[in-house]
Amino acid sequence: MKLLKKIFEHEVFPAVGCTEPISCAFAAAAAAEQLDAPVEKIELVVDPGTFKNGAAVTIPNSKGRKGNLIAAAMGAIIARPELRLEILKEVSPDILDKAQALIDRGAISYLCKEDEKGFYIESKLMGGSSLVRCVVIGGHTNIAVLEKDGKSCIGVSSQAPAQNDLYRERMKNMRLEEVLREVIDLDDVERSYIQRGIDMNLAISEKGFDLKRNAYQLRQMMKQGLKADDLFYRVKEKVASAVDARMGGLPEPVMTSGGSGNQGVLTVLVPYLVGRHQEIELPRIQESIAVSHAVNSYIKSYTGELSVICGCAIAASISASIAVVYQQVGIDIEKMTYAIDNVIGDLCGIICDGAKAGCSMKIVTGAEAAMRSAFMALAGYGLSNDDGVLGRSAEESIRNLSKISLEGMQLVDSTVVHILQDKTTRSGQA
């Protein structure tokens, strides 16, 4: 299958709400669909990245509630996995009440599997005399195990690799230029899908100002003369508003990238808004967004689905920066390498401490770095490969970024999880 179609299938899709809690809802829904009786008990086990991203983010249609537990409970009541990551748009007041009742009576247990390095959500549901187990690995809707009372419902063993691992393994053996040349030849269906993502992410970018968070503060600073009303400001205001809306729990869809809604905001809106400002033709902008999605996927083939480092501030920033370069000069690997190195040299080491309102601050930083790095690269400026962790090629710089995340920062996730758990414990005691 064409590489871009695989990326779209597994990583670029509409989502309502933060994708990790919604993936918990999806896993619970897939299990609940197999039960022949109402859900009586849920056991939820997640990887550290999913635990972090469910700790402080508001869940859509939950009346302000936060966390993976309420998302999983609502997904179990809905029991419609075909809705994928838009499942919580189906929440009604009755569904919310039933989900909260499960939590209130202690029917849900929750565990972080701290030694898990990849994306992992395990949902066990009990009802009547049956137990259904669903395991999602390697991607937010990638069911590797679905079994009822010990018998597989889909014929996939627990040792089966996630489907999306196959194309990512292929990408790891490709040079960046090879990936880009494979994804820029768009057919009408792909262009329509990319345009759908543009329209979707522009729509949600209008929704966050009323929350009076980061985007609102940026606008106030502009009105006070502290910021210029220029391209950089307008792009940062748009992406901030979109993330304010998402992290605030507004039940509006966003087109993801790399399985992340916030990364989708950055990888789509930065090249689109810059391209429009630079009077680039729409077909070229659409191609650049395909490039943006592909680069994000390429980076994740090294760093993993969820990483210690902030994907919005680094992976998506690199992707958007390369997209802006592509709009002006096509697949110019020298200038694209400059853009990659400029972003890594600027932002390398920013950690992910979970999905929450503060993600909007990081996405503003990422948008700034993406645009600045791209325009510097187009002017022929890039940091030297003897600068810090930068490599002698685009691929080596990305591999070094992965080493920093997977090898050099191994204790970060565990430390963040313990901090979040301690905060939850102290809040419960209060």
pLDDT tens string 30-57: 999 999 899 999 999 999 989 998 888 9
Q: Is the pLDDT of residue 86 over 90?
A: yes
Q: Is the pLDDT of residue 312 over 90?
A: no
Q: What is the pLDDT of residue 416?
A: 86
Axis-axis angle for helices 315-329, 261-277 (nearest 10): 30
Q: What is the pLDDT of residue 68?
A: 95
Q: What is the pLDDT of residue 118?
A: 84
What average pLDDT does this structure show over 338-356? 92
Q: What is the pLDDT of residue 188?
A: 97
Axis-axis angle for helices 176-183, 394-403 (nearest 10): 110
What average pLDDT does this structure show over 213-230? 96
User: Higher pLDDT residue, 417 or 263?
Assistant: 263
Residue 111: in which H helix or E strand, if any? Answer: strand 108-112
- Order of strands, sheet of 108-112, starting from the edge strand that comes earlier in the sequence: 108-112, 41-46, 120-127, 130-137, 143-148, 151-152
Q: Is the pLDDT of residue 159 over 90?
A: no
Q: Quick check: 400 and 391 in contact, CB under 8 A?
A: yes
Q: What is the pLDDT of residue 161?
A: 40
Q: Is the pLDDT of residue 318 over 80?
A: yes
String of b and e for 194-230 (b: at least 16 CB within 10 Å)?
Answer: beebbebbeebbebbbebebbbbbbbeebeeeebeee
What average pLDDT does this structure show over 12-41? 94
Q: Choose among 208, 210, 236: nearest CA to 222.
A: 236
Q: What is the pLDDT of residue 1?
A: 62
d(CA 353, CA 229): 31
Axis-axis angle for helices 19-34, 68-78 (nearest 10): 40
What average pLDDT does this structure show over 404-421? 85
Residue 99, both tokens: 């989900």
Mean pLDDT of the chain: 92
What average pLDDT does this structure show over 300-326? 90
Class of the domain covering 16-162? alpha beta
Residue reference for tokens 């959500």: 121
Q: Is the pLDDT of residue 155 over 60?
A: no
Domain spans in the chain, listed from the N-terminal domain onward: 16-162, 174-417
Q: Quick check: 97 and 74 in contact, CB under 8 A?
A: no
Q: Quick check: 351 and 412 in contact, CB under 8 A?
A: yes
Supply the DSSP symbol for 380. T
Q: Is the pLDDT of residue 310 over 90?
A: no
Q: What is the pLDDT of residue 162?
A: 44
What average pLDDT does this structure show over 207-213? 93
Q: Which amino acid is at 350?
A: I
Q: Which amino acid is at 167?
A: Y
Q: Is the pLDDT of residue 96 over 70?
A: yes
What average pLDDT does this structure show over 256-283? 96
Which CATH number describes the domain made up of 174-417?
A: 1.10.4100.10
Q: What is the pLDDT of residue 164?
A: 46
Q: Is the pLDDT of residue 220 over 70?
A: yes
Axis-axis angle for helices 315-329, 359-378 (nearest 10): 30
Residue reference for tokens 């601050």: 361
Residue 90, both tokens: 């189906």
pTM: 0.92
Question: In Å, how far from its chain's centre is CA 314?
Answer: 12
Q: Is the pLDDT of residue 429 over 60?
A: no
